[in-house]
Chain A
Amino acid sequence: MSFVSRREFLYGSALGLGGLALTALLKNNFNTPTPFNPHQGHLTTLHHPAKVKHVIHLCMSGGPSQMETFDNKPVLKKYHDTSIPEDYLKKNPLPRLQKEAKTGYKCMGPQFEFKKYGQSGIEVASIFPHVANIVDDLCVIRSMQSDQIDHGPALTFFNTGTILPNRPSMGSWVNYALGSDCDNLPGFVVLSSAGGGMNQPVSSNIWHSGFLPSTNQGVKFQSAASKNLVPYIQSPKGVTQELQTELYKAINEINHESYKHYKDEEIQTRIHQNEMAAKMQLSVPELSDLSKEPDHIQQLYGPGEYAKNCLMARRLVERGVRFIQLYHRGWDHHEKLKLGLKRVSHLTDQATAALITDLKQRGLLKDTLVIWGGEFGRTPVAQNGDGREHHIKAFSMWLAGGGIKPGMVHGVTDELGFFVKENPVHVRDLHALILHLLGIDHTRLTYTFQGVKQKLTGFEKAQVPKSLLI
């Protein structure tokens, strides 16, 4: 953590912008207190050495089916179109499958062929030809579990560890703890794209800072394809960059005069934030200009909004952004699952693999944790004949990056893919793992709210799945 560099920034480096040396101006003329730095983390020391500095969460919103991606179930295939054994349903009724409750629950075998890839020989479904090529970099978890079965609550749970309102998301927790290493971009950025299935909505409550200070809130970038990544990042039409810079300068000069009168520390903070805003106005358009990327990189990621977002994620990591979430809304397949998955994998497979490849070739993957997966998985039984319902007892995800064993599979499901047989990883275990890799002990990162020491992992026991760690 480079607190020192941030402090240096505060004391002297507000010079980045032409003629905007306001901090220096303040320092020379007045005996001002240290301005509040909203970007400073609250942990003074890490709990243990960190393995990574950044997190990219590729959230496949809607709930990808494990049986068509990373969890091959030949036995399920054998039972295709036959009734599922009763005891499965006894152990876990399927309340959302109302129609099937009347007509009978039928097994549905994997819809795509699986093959072993790489030196690790991990099985990957045929819809992911690109990801299959980088499978040796991945740690596939086949034993994920969640508590929430509807999209909204499940995404909320996946992000905040609870469905209670006003709770911070993991990105907010991480920024609260570690602060930002980036002085001209938010520490927590959210991007979203859609296509390939029912587009379930995503909304600000899942990247909200809850009871934590609002500076830790995720900032939703509009679209990597647009210049206006952040609302109001562009000066009004007819206002040149020079004029806008002069304007910032004038505002802060007068703010400074107001401070002399009111001695209100909020004015100092505003001066600092205006400087940040001015820098963002310069850095964000530069960030969003993907045309500067060489052809071979553009080709590596391929076309489409999701691909642009992946490329953007890499650029954000390069610039020091701490936590990046990239939602692709298109994985909800209650019917025509096969077609839907073909579409959505076509939109995302190449860019996902490209992101890993690109991070790796730049030496960034070792400092970054990449998480791929949805808020839950899908049922081994069919819905509407050719779709699958939401399922939270077992689903697949993968991780890649610093501190994570590459080329391994963790966890085993039963032969129908209904329940976890070995090494379950609950969502809150994943939270504990994310914090662990960042150098944070999940039991010690707390914030007192409503009289209770709140944690990302909540009150139930969470365990870091140690066997995934290098």
Chain B
Amino acid sequence: MKNILLVSIVFMSPVILLLFLDAPSTPPKKIKKNQIADSSIKFSRDIRPILSNHCFTCHGPDKQKGDMRLDTQKDLENITKSINGNAPLLLQHINSTDPDEVMPPLKSNNPLKQQQKDTLKKWIEKGAKYEQHWSYLQPIKTATPTLKDMSKALNVIDYFVQNKLEKHSLTPSNQADPATLMRRLYFDLIGLPPSSDQIKTFTTNFSNQSYEQLVNQLLSSKHFGERLAVKWLDLVRYADSIGYHGDPQISHSPYRDYVINSFNTNKPYDQFTIEQIAGDLLEKPTEEQLIATGYNHMLMTSEETGAVESQYLRMYGNDRVQNLGSVWLGTTLHCAKCHDHKYDPFTQDDYYSLTAFFADIEEKGIYDNYDEREHLKYFYRNIDEVKNLKQQQEHVAELKKKMDSSSEANSAEASHDAKMHLRYSNKLNYFQRSLIASPITIHTTPRETRILRRGNLDDTGGTVVLPKLPDIFAYENKTHKKLNRLDLATWLVSKNNPLASRVFVNVLWGMYFGKGFSETYQDLGAIGQWPSHPELFDWLSADFIENNWDIKRLIKTIVMSHTYKQSSMTREDLDKVDGLNVLLGRQNPTTIAAEFVRDNALAISGLLQLKQTGGPSIRPYQPEQYLKSLIPPASFYFVDNNINQFKRGLYVHRQRSAPHPSLLAFDAPSRRHCVAKRNYSNTPLQSLALLNDPTYVEASRKFAERIINNKANSIEDKIKWAYFETTSRVASETIINTLKNLYEINHLHYANNKQDARLIMTQGIMKPDPKLQIIDIATWSAIARCLMSLQETITRY
């Protein structure tokens, strides 16, 4: 029976993997891999997902075919009651063999599995208890559970996690070794690797105190904000191009730097939220608060000639609400764009009332060009850039003059001049667009917002709506004034919104454990995934609010737990019961994100430029013609031929329609829409990038110089040092032999083919160290390329 139930949960959908609440206290009998559950039935966890996946489409918040709905308590009571000794209506229909009566209907091609029918039956037998969906209830702190064995419990997280493990007769894993811990903290908190010297010092004097010191040190590092910003910029879809159609550049970098600084100064999350959505409506907003409102312009916009203005304005409204739904409400609000939400309590009226909050933002549906983006306000300009721009402008004016005067005299010359003029004015446009600027939100008279029937962007006959919060939240407007963005933002981070804290806590948890409490980060609604540790999730979400949305405090709580510090090694006993590691009996290894793959290689090479935080986006080497299928100025790309190009990955120019190929290979999102969790693929394009992208080739050549200059004398010692520097691990005999062999082969080649060694030196802008032999540099750069391409080099264990 138990297994049947388990299967029923697992099969609900491939996305909704199983999860569970009160585990049985007896050891589970041969539970199949990945299938863990308990025998009790919970409406939220076990029943609602079946109903929402199979019934709500026709009998839910949106449609009620045959006047029947299965999403409210009252209606459910009626169909789960046995009347006159007959089976309850629900069971009659799902078990019917009559093709006209069976539910879901055959033509829906969405039948219930036997296990699901059994689950529904059992639920009805046990009294058909109904519950409000968990995420719409206030998060509360339940009592910390007790443990039989407290030896590995360091803080509240461990009590919740280990309690669940104990119920499955499992034990937590041991703490990872100090080197792994240091490496993990470095990647997780600042996105950079520790050097071998740092590892050595840390491991020699390792203690709980030194661990905490390291945590404090990294949390106060200026790189902390850079690390966390990558996550936030994914959520708010930050990019350096407008997105639609021609996708020309646009500078948003001051907004990006605002995010970094906010994390570094530990700005409370509520303030951070309010500034971004409604900083302009605060009393006497500071420049920083105005830059923050760039958030409202992070969406994709268009400059397509002839496109229909009103459609795009409406698309922008939709885009903003979708982002709001993902980031602060964990709700797929956009489902309510065309009809009332199929699963969650949001109506189409709610949806458009939310878009109305943003109707006061001054903007255009279609911008003619850059100059016309009137809401753009330049905060500061780099003087050199302005000078450069002026020169270019003069050049274009000159060409134009020449073209005008020659146009009648000689048509061939005129056509040549026209081409030059076009090219230069495109280039000028490129420069102008790359100047540091940040769009800010300017409040204006709100446009009228109407419900777009069936989501039709051309519809003009829908009901007019005013800014309003969704009815489910029962917001009381005490002032009776029309609500505005500030009211919205303030409410989002008030105690009355049960979702904002949960979404953010879940996202952070996902960062530090490789998976969130719920893996459907942007959907904590009825068909989102049931959380792995609901009470702990609630506890942390409540705690976050109680402590004034203190982000660093929350992160410190997480990384100080034993649960975080566990080894990530697989264990047979865990695997048998919990192959997906839902219970967190160990840490999860994770591939580091695209930006940090780059940072890591540059850091190892010594090229990484860490001095300046923020600034304009940078342009590293990129294959020529990579942007060819775009149109000017987006198709232009001027490589930064200076050390700026070695700044961190998060500063790399983000062209929405064609992100840098190496970042793209490592799954950096396009930033067209909100991404709460990146996809982590493992593809040959990644291998090619690590080996052949000039950035990595140049890094390998500089790492080679570090290896040669290292005080280790013999080739073997140098290999040992280089391997340790890259992976924080001691090289095994096999590894040393492999690398020695590689050394011999390369050395032989480059000694006999010095021209090849010279060619290696030509890659990238950095000159080789003149004190060194280029044959040696070329040889060691092969070792460096090998080390930088290892899977363990780009994995945080």
Contacts and interface: CB of A to CB of B under 8 A. Distances in A.
Interface of A: 36, 38, 95-96, 149-152, 164-166, 192, 194, 199-205, 208, 213-215, 219-220, 222-223, 226, 228, 230-240, 242-244, 246-247, 250-251, 253-255, 257-258, 261-264, 266-267, 269-270, 273-274, 276-277, 280-281, 327, 329, 334, 389-390, 443-444, 447-453
Interface in B218-246: 244-246
Given A214-B667, A214-B679, A228-B623, A251 B786 contact: yes
B147 to A, nearest CB: 28
Interface in B625-669: 625-626, 628-631, 634, 656-659, 661-662, 664-665, 667
B528 interface: yes
Nearest to B729: A261
B177 to A, nearest CB: 12
Contacts of B749: 240, 242-243
9 pairs of A and B residues whose beta carbons are closest in the complex = A451-B527, A203-B657, A238-B759, A277-B687, A232-B692, A277-B684, A231-B661, A238-B760, A165-B673
Contact of B15 (A200, A240, A449): A449
B791 A267 contact: yes
Contacts of B68: none
B735 A257 contact: yes
B658 A246 contact: no
B629 A327 contact: yes
Given A230-B685, A266-B791, A277-B684, 7 more contacts: A150-B308, A164-B334, A222-B625, A254-B790, A266-B682, A273-B686, A448-B13
Interface residues of B, number: 96
Given A255-B790, A273-B687, A231 B623 contact: yes
Contacts of B520: 450
Which interface residue of A213, A238, A280 has the most chain B CB atoms within 10 A?
Answer: A238
A274 B522 CA distance: 34
B697 interface: yes
Contacts of B785: 247
Nearest to A150: B307
Which interface residue of B629, B697, B734 has the most chain A CB atoms within 10 A?
Answer: B629
A204 B785 CA distance: 29
Contacts of A269: 682
Interface stretch (B119-127, B166-174, B375-383, B740-748): B740-748
B514 to A, nearest CB: 11
13 contacts: A95-B458, A96-B307, A150-B304, A166-B672, A192-B629, A215-B683, A228-B623, A232-B623, A238-B756, A266-B791, A273-B682, A280-B684, A451-B527
Contacts of A266: 589, 591, 682, 791, 795
Nearest to A231: B661
B782 A222 contact: no
Given A199-B631, A231-B661, A451-B523, A247 B742 contact: yes
Contacts of B786: 247, 250-251, 254
A253 B723 CA distance: 14
Given A201-B246, A451-B15, A453-B110, A270 B687 contact: yes
Given A152-B244, A236-B692, A236-B763, A213 B629 contact: no
Contacts of A202: 629
B479 interface: no
A421 B51 CA distance: 43
A63 to B, nearest CB: 12
Nearest to B785: A247
B773 interface: no
A200 to B, nearest CB: 8
Contacts of B426: none
B589 A262 contact: yes
B670 interface: yes
Contacts of B304: 150-152
A273 B790 contact: no
Interface in B293-341: 302, 304, 306-308, 332, 334-335
Nearest to A276: B684
Contact of A235 (B631, B686, B692, B735): B692
B308 A96 contact: yes
Contacts of B758: 238
Contacts of A453: 110
B685 A255 contact: no
Query: What's the dominant secondary structure at chain B's contact region?
Result: loop
A208 B681 CA distance: 14
Given A237-B763, A258-B792, A203 B247 contact: yes
B684 A236 contact: no
Contacts of B99: none
B691 A233 contact: no
Nearest to B302: A152
B694 A236 contact: yes
A262 B792 contact: yes
Given A247-B691, A255-B790, A204 B684 contact: no
A273 B680 CA distance: 14
Contacts of A274: 684, 687, 789
B756 A444 contact: no
A228 B628 CA distance: 14
A205 B527 contact: no
Interface in B739-797: 739, 741-742, 745-746, 749, 755-760, 762-763, 778, 782, 785-786, 789-792, 795, 797
A220 B661 CA distance: 10
B407 interface: no
Which interface residue of B634, B672, B755 has the most chain A CB atoms within 10 A?
Answer: B672
Contacts of A264: 570, 589, 791, 795, 797
Nearest to B682: A269
Nearest to A281: B688
B53 interface: yes
B757 A238 contact: yes
A253 B109 CA distance: 49
Given A214-B681, A239-B760, A451 B109 contact: no
Given A236-B697, A264-B795, A453-B110, A273 B683 contact: yes
B689 interface: yes
A262 B168 CA distance: 25
Contact of B691 (A151, A232, A389): A232
Given A240-B756, A247-B786, A270-B687, A38 B308 contact: no
B160 interface: no
B77 interface: no
Contacts of A151: 245, 304
A213 B682 CA distance: 10
A36 B683 CA distance: 11
B414 to A, nearest CB: 18
B656 to A, nearest CB: 8
A280 B786 CA distance: 18
Contacts of B34: none
A290 to B, nearest CB: 17
Contacts of A452: 342, 527
A442 B88 CA distance: 36
Contact of B245 (A95, A201, A235, A240): A201
B52 interface: yes
A277 B658 CA distance: 22
A263 B246 contact: no
A273 B625 contact: no
A20 to B, nearest CB: 13
Contact of A443 (B52, B109, B634, B734): B109
Given A243-B745, A246-B742, A233 B527 contact: no
A450 B342 CA distance: 11
A257 B730 CA distance: 12
A192 B688 CA distance: 22
Contacts of A389: 306
Contacts of B14: 447-448
Contacts of A223: 625, 628
A273 B591 CA distance: 15
B695 to A, nearest CB: 10
B545 to A, nearest CB: 27
